[in-house]
Structure 1
Amino acid sequence: MVRTLQLVTSRRPFFEQQVEVLERNGVSCTVVPVPGGTRERSLADYVRFYARVLEAASGPDFDLVHANYGLTAPAALAQPIRPVVLSLWGSDLLGRYGTVSEQCARFADAVVVMSEEMATDLDGDYTVVPHGIDTDRFAPEPQDEAREEVGWESGANHVLFPYDPSREEKNYPRAERVVDRARDAVDGRVELHAVSGVPHEQVPTYMNAADAMILPSEREGSPNAVKEALSCNLPVVATPVGDVPTLLDGADCSHVSDTDEGLADALAEVLTSTSPPNGRERAREFGLDRMGEDLLGVYDSVLDAEVAA
């Protein structure tokens, strides 16, 4: 059994699924989160975090440290005992703390990224292991039942924006512009819904209640929302960020564009199309088991190198 110390900033649903699938594959996972909950962490929080990491890693119970998200990497690397796997999620490499992530990646024993596009500025080797999704949970449901459950009007066209509008990198104002422009080409009402903060198990219902999902992000790694939408057979209209073009390749009724006009035309086409989407066929490649197998392969290579040294 591989015994891992999992470091994380926040225990988001996809991280919990990662832990679950690793343990299903015989990996022991002990999780140490950065203190501070959901508020913005202070330097004191990260000092306390390092003390916890050092104490845990110094014991005999772990084979390696897995730093999930770039801001956990300094504490992982500062403990001199266990080899370090660093997973970069996207915003940690592409956002304001990108320099920290880049520098730490140079010293990790293995680096995991969500997409090839993320690794453009990285020096050294890396492995692409996107976050997986639960294709059993994210599955097609009858639209009329889903709309009744979430309280959306049955006769309107509904467009889902699956993020908090205050997240600047997700670009909600652009979603509003695109939907406004698409309304001129669509019969009937077109409603835009920003959905965030709901329990993860309720997200599939919102996806099945929608006619399309819009993702006008300025940057992404490998967004789970796109994979989840595909798994629900929900068409996606998105900007070409991260691995989104690859995710949508071969998915009928889904489109990528980098202009407002192109996004609006694509959205109008989706909302007026009578062709059935086939996203679920594409989404079968993004299952949790494949992610678990790939991460276990990374762990094995790091531990084999440790033994050889």
Structure 2
Amino acid sequence: MKLLLITNMYPAPEQPSSGVFIKEQIEDVQNEIDLEVDVFLIDGINRGKFEYLKSIFTIPYQLSRKKYDAIHVHYGISGLFLLFFRPKIKKFMTLHGCDIQDWGSNFWNVWITKKIIKNVDLVYVQNQKMKSVVEKINPNVEIMPCGTNSSFFAPPPNFNKKAKSDFLILFPGSPKRTVKNYPLFLEVMRTVEELGIQNIQHLCLENMSREQVKDAMLNADCLLMTSISEGSPQVIKEALYCDLPIVSVPVGDVADMLAGIPKCKVANTFDKLELARLLKSTLSEDYAPIRESFMTKNQYNNQYASKRLARRYSEVNDRETTLRVIGNKSLVE
């Protein structure tokens, strides 16, 4: 089978960690089935939004040069070309969160994505909230969180945190990204100091290699998520596999991820005092086996997603099979 993978995030020399989970996912699928993959990267982050407009012409040209059995698009507007050109092959799409969840300043992004998903055969989303939005437009939708490499994000044998006098709290992203809500994070940090935790520092997970992110997670005391919107945040899964406690606002599928996991808490609101109290409580608790507990939730491991994709891709060349998806049930006729 030949697949064209279209994405706006994928590892490159200048950004080796960007979309690495997509690369690992497709490589895992290749371990399951005979699959030839070409990757078409729309580098809108480094080269600007014009790259999406160019793709209206460059992707159909690529599809005309080589016979593919299917395409798989990651992120809504990466499929902009589907508004003008509809290849007669199977079209899969994975939505990641802010491409379909409207939180204000991403209105046009969401509006365009809703137009695009009408032209897709099967849409994968990260959580139930996203599914509720998509199924009103395209009934062929499934929840499938992107998986994380639990072998890489793991404490080494006999690991001990680096000795330090202060608590270290991680901010999961760049302060420049509005959706990550850095102002609320800072308010919580100030509030927790007012509650009596004076020896506290924070570190932003930006401009780091993957190894540096893992090292930070292994040696931090907690990750605090204050995002306005999320799908199924990779950074939470990575932290849990690194045995790192989490405190989060109620966003994406984080509550499902953290359910039953020790030393991890989800606030009921975006209130800084509630979050500060939860953070203080977490910092006062003794060690608990976070990774061990999270490993039982197989749906967040990259092997789970890759096996599901492998089954779907395998159905593409079965000419006698018609795929229909109704709710969470997959029906093969």
Q: What TM-score, normalized by structure 2, do the two folds share?
A: 0.83
Map of 1:228 onto structure 2? 238
Map of 2:142 onto structure 1? 127
The percentage of counterpart residues that share the same residue type is 25
Which residues of 2 match residues 1-309 of structure 1 at below 5 A? Answer: 2-11=1-10, 12-26=19-33, 27-35=35-43, 38-42=46-50, 45-76=51-82, 78-95=85-102, 96=106, 97-122=109-134, 123=136, 124-141=139-156, 142-145=159-162, 154-257=164-267, 258=269, 259-284=271-296, 285=298, 286-304=300-318, 308=322
Using the alignment, how far apart are the partners of 1:206 and 1:69 within structure 2?
28
Shift of 1:280: 3.7
Map of 2:327 onto structure 1? none
Using the alignment, how far apart are the partners of 2:239 and 2:251 within structure 1?
16
Q: Which amino acid aligns with 1:291?
A: A
Shift of 1:94: 1.6
Q: Which deviations, in whole Å up to 9, do the C-alpha atoms of 1:43-100 show, x marking residues without a partner? A: xx33432333212222453110111110122324624232211111111112421111
Q: Does structure 2 conserve the Cα–Cα contact (< 8 Å) formed by 1:6 and 1:29?
A: yes
Q: Does structure 2 conserve the Cα–Cα contact (< 8 Å) formed by 1:110 and 1:298?
A: no
- 164-173 vs 267-276, which moves further: 267-276
Q: Does structure 2 conserve the Cα–Cα contact (< 8 Å) formed by 1:158 and 1:192?
A: yes
Using the alignment, how far apart are the partners of 1:270 and 1:213 within structure 2?
10
Q: Which deviations, in whole Å up to 9, do the C-alpha atoms of 1:4-48 show, x marking residues without a partner? A: 100011212222222221222232211011155623222xx3343
Using the alignment, how far apart are the partners of 1:93 and 1:308 within structure 2?
27
Question: RMSD between aligned alpha carbons?
Answer: 2.1
- 284-293 vs 51-60, which moves further: 51-60
Q: Which amino acid aligns with 1:126?
A: V
Using the alignment, how far apart are the partners of 2:45 and 2:194 within structure 1?
44
For structure 1, which runs of at least 5 residues remain unmatched after alignment?
148-153
- 258-267 vs 78-87, which moves further: 78-87
Q: What TM-score, normalized by structure 1, do the two folds share?
A: 0.89
Using the alignment, how far apart are the partners of 2:198 and 2:215 within structure 1?
23
Task: Decide which structure has greater helix share.
Answer: 1
Quickly say closer, same or farther: Cα 1:251–1:56, change in 2 above 3 A: same
Using the alignment, how far apart are the partners of 2:266 and 2:20 within structure 1?
26
Using the alignment, how far apart are the partners of 2:97 and 2:166 within structure 1?
34
Q: Which amino acid aligns with 1:234?
A: L
Shift of 1:304: 4.2
Using the alignment, how far apart are the partners of 2:289 and 2:39 within structure 1?
39
Quickly say closer, same or farther: Cα 1:23–1:268, change in 2 above 3 A: same
- 21-30 vs 229-238, which moves further: 21-30
Q: Does structure 1 conserve the Cα–Cα contact (< 8 Å) formed by 2:214 and 2:242?
A: yes
* Matched position secondary structure for 2:46: coil
Quickly say closer, same or farther: Cα 1:266–1:121, change in 2 above 3 A: same
For structure 2, which runs of at least 5 residues remain unmatched after alignment?
11-18, 324-333
Count of residues in Structure 1 that have an aligned counterpart in Structure 2? 299
* Matched position secondary structure for 1:158: strand
Q: Which deviations, in whole Å up to 9, do the C-alpha atoms of 1:84-136 show, x marking residues without a partner? A: 11111111112421111122212211111111221221121211111111111
* Matched position secondary structure for 2:37: strand
* Matched position secondary structure for 1:159: strand
Using the alignment, how far apart are the partners of 1:103 and 1:46 within structure 2?
15
Q: Does structure 2 conserve the Cα–Cα contact (< 8 Å) formed by 1:34 and 1:46?
A: yes
